[in-house]
């Protein structure tokens, strides 16, 4: 077909569509058919420029809004406009792999990829044994549309190191908008602690997910500030944003996020002084075993703290260890205890992915309930990624998730030691410290079922694998080539 014939065919299709669309509007007074060109454009972009669409979609993540905000009576929920894009990305990627079968074996057989196969595979088994099959099936499918695009696709995209920075900046730019909106709204309430709990809604569910996102990106911005390969102007912008994000985190009153940044600083020390990861893991295990061995004595000491949450920052910090009167802390312990009791009843397969909030109510003890306790299943879940997995997917579900976290940490430490450029060291250090903030946060909350946290979490994991498989080797080849030219 000649170029002239293609143009003629194109105009014929456009004219026919205009006629048909006009008839549909005239007969039905419906404008949905008018959206067809937009759908086709998006589909074409996903098929032919999947990498660009996926990175650009990150710009929308902090600004996405749950569908239930518009239609509260719906039986299901989805974040708009991001999750439909992620679903489309997942389907097109799977279709292309069925047709082309050209996925990189180095990524497909990487230890973190293999652990993710086990993670998704075991989760699917627990879907089949679930006490609420359709709830669990939806939860498993949602895991697919986060993990496949933002790990298995992004890690290939990150062959090009510049795309890592684009991915990171997309979220930072958008989160800056969210911060500005939140602070303007919050100022009307005098930046008090009570309004901080909900003021970022509907962009973020509450201050805990908002604080978790801020904590994840503060190490990233810190890395940008100290990256000598960046232009001076970009480093100055990064410094301004770092201060802005830190202010926003302070005013979020999110105690778990504050603690997670202390943990992130600990990871930086480990990397900086090249402490062996085996010693670190042994130390974490020792602390964990000691806690369970002496938990009664620890809780007895903590019960002496009666300081509740407060707008006064000193008092709010003191309230972190208040397990005597602080309703938020006590409710968290109530949820954790329920998760453990649920695990004891179904230790192997659990109750099914996504079912905790619907099943935990009978496991509450009256003396553990708080003024914010509920039986309705509408006030969140287990408040722990680890205990949530334990109750919903049994012992193997929790252990696989922990193995993914530990393996990612180990590879990040190895990457930092192997990195042969300052830029790669910065990328590795800032990414693993950002990721580690959520590994700590995951003890106190669980947000990997929402796009705001799932996208950076799996995206950061993809960066660590891309550095390991591609970028370190690319730098070695470039250095060798440069030396040969000399």
Q: Are 442 and 259 in contact (CB under 8 A)?
A: no
The rounded distance, in Å, linking the Cα atoms of 36 and 2 is: 27
Collapse the DSSP code of 67 into the 3-class scheme (helix H, G, I; strand E, B; otherwise coil) and give the result.
Answer: helix
Alpha helices in 129-276 (DSSP H): 133-147, 154-157, 161-187, 193-196, 207-226, 232-251, 255-272
Supply the pLDDT for residue 317.
Answer: 53
Q: Are 382 and 336 in contact (CB under 8 A)?
A: yes
**Tokens matching residue 175:** 């989160």
Residue 191 reports pLDDT greater than 60: yes
Alpha helices in 58-132 (DSSP H): 82-100, 105-108, 111-128
Give the length of the chain: 486
**Tokens matching residue 473:** 């080797």
Average pLDDT over residues 336-360: 94
Supply the pLDDT for residue 47.
Answer: 67
Assign 21 a pLDDT band (cuts: 50, 70, 90): low
Ranked by mean pLDDT, which of 37-46, 272-281, 399-408 comes out on top?
399-408
Average pLDDT over residues 162-171: 95
* CB neighbour class for 188 (10 Å; exposed up to 12, middle 13-18, buried from 19): exposed
The rounded distance, in Å, linking the Cα atoms of 397 and 390 is: 6
b/e map of 55-78 (b: 16 or more CB within 10 Å)?
Answer: bebbbbbbbbebbeeeeeeeeeeb
DSSP characters over 432-461: HHHHHHHHHHTTT---TTSHHHHHHHHHHH
| Residue for token pair 């309430």 | 189
Average pLDDT over residues 133-143: 94
**Tokens matching residue 260:** 């997670």
Residue 85 reports pLDDT greater than 90: no
Give 363-396 pLDDT, tens digit per residue. Answer: 998 888 888 787 766 667 888 999 999 999 999 9
Computed over every residue of the chain, the mean pLDDT equals 84
Average pLDDT over residues 418-424: 88
Q: Are 451 and 79 in contact (CB under 8 A)?
A: yes
Collapse the DSSP code of 65 into the 3-class scheme (helix H, G, I; strand E, B; otherwise coil) and give the result.
Answer: strand
Report the candidate in 389, 392, 330 with the shortest Cα–Cα distance to residue 365.
330
The rounded distance, in Å, linking the Cα atoms of 77 and 74 is: 7
The rounded distance, in Å, linking the Cα atoms of 340 and 20 is: 60
Supply the pLDDT for residue 14.
Answer: 57
Positive or negative: CA dihedral 91, 92, 93, 94: positive
Q: Which residues contact 425 (CB under 8 A, 6 or more apart)?
A: 416, 419
The rounded distance, in Å, linking the Cα atoms of 230 and 200 is: 32
Between 15 and 419, where is the model more confident? 419
Give 429-485 pLDDT, tens digit per residue. Answer: 999 999 999 999 888 888 999 999 999 999 999 999 999 999 988 765 555 554 555
Q: Which residues contact 135 (CB under 8 A, 6 or more apart)?
A: 352, 353, 354, 355, 358
Average pLDDT over residues 27-34: 61
* Other C-beta atoms lying within 10 Å of the C-beta of residue 31: 10
Q: Which residues contact 44 (CB under 8 A, 6 or more apart)?
A: none
Least reliable range by pLDDT among 46-55, 103-112, 290-299: 290-299
């Amino acid at each position: 077909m000649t170029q002239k014939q293609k143009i003629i065919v194109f105009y014929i299709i456009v004219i026919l569509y205009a006629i048909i669309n006009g008839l549909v509007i005239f007969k039905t007074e419906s404008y949905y058919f008018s959206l067809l060109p937009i759908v086709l454009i998006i589909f074409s972009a996903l098929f032919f420029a999947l990498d660009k669409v996926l990175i650009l979609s990150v710009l929308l993540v902090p600004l996405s809004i749950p569908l239930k905000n518009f239609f509260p009576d719906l039986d299901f929920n989805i974040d708009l406009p991001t999750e439909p894009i992620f679903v489309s990305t997942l389907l097109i990627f799977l279709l292309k792999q069925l047709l082309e079968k050209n996925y990189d074996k180095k990524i497909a057989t990487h230890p973190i990829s293999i652990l993710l196969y086990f993670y998704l595979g075991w989760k699917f088994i627990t879907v089949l044994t679930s006490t609420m099959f359709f709830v669990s099936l939806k939860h498993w499918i949602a895991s697919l549309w986060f993990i496949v695009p933002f790990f298995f696709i992004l890690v290939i995209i990150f062959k090009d190191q510049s795309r890592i920075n684009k991915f990171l900046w997309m979220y930072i730019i958008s989160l800056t908008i969210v911060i500005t909106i939140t602070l303007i709204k919050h100022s009307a309430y005098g930046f008090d602690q009570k309004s901080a709990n909900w003021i970022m809604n509907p962009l973020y569910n509450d201050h805990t997910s908002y604080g978790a996102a801020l904590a994840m990106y503060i190490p990233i911005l810190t890395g940008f500030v100290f990256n000598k390969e960046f232009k001076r102007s970009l480093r100055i912008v990064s410094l301004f944003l770092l201060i802005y994000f830190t202010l926003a985190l302070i005013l979020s009153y999110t105690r778990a996020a504050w603690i997670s940044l202390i943990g992130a600083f600990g990871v930086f020390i480990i990397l900086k002084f090249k402490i062996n990861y085996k010693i670190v893991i042994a130390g974490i295990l020792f602390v964990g075993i000691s806690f369970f061995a002496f938990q009664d004595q620890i809780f007895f000491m903590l019960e002496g703290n009666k300081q509740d949450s407060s707008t006064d920052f000193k008092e709010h910090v003191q309230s972190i260890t208040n397990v005597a009167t602080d309703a938020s802390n006590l409710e968290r312990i109530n949820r954790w205890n329920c998760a453990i009791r649920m695990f004891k009843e179904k230790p192997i397969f659990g109750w099914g992915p996504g079912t905790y909030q619907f099943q935990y109510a009978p496991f509450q003890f009256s003396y553990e309930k708080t003024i914010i306790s509920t039986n309705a299943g509408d006030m969140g879940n287990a408040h722990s990624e680890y205990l949530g997995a334990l109750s919903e997917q049994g012992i193997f579900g929790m252990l696989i998730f922990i193995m993914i976290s530990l393996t990612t940490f180990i590879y990040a430490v190895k990457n930092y030691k192997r990195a042969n450029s300052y830029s790669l060291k910065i990328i590795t250090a800032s990414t693993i410290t950002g990721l580690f903030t959520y590994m700590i946060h995951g003890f106190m909350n669980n947000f990997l079922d929402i796009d705001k946290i799932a996208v950076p979490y799996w995206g950061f994991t993809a960066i660590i694998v891309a550095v390991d498989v591609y970028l370190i080797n690319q730098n070695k080849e470039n250095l060798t080539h440069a030396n040969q030219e000399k």
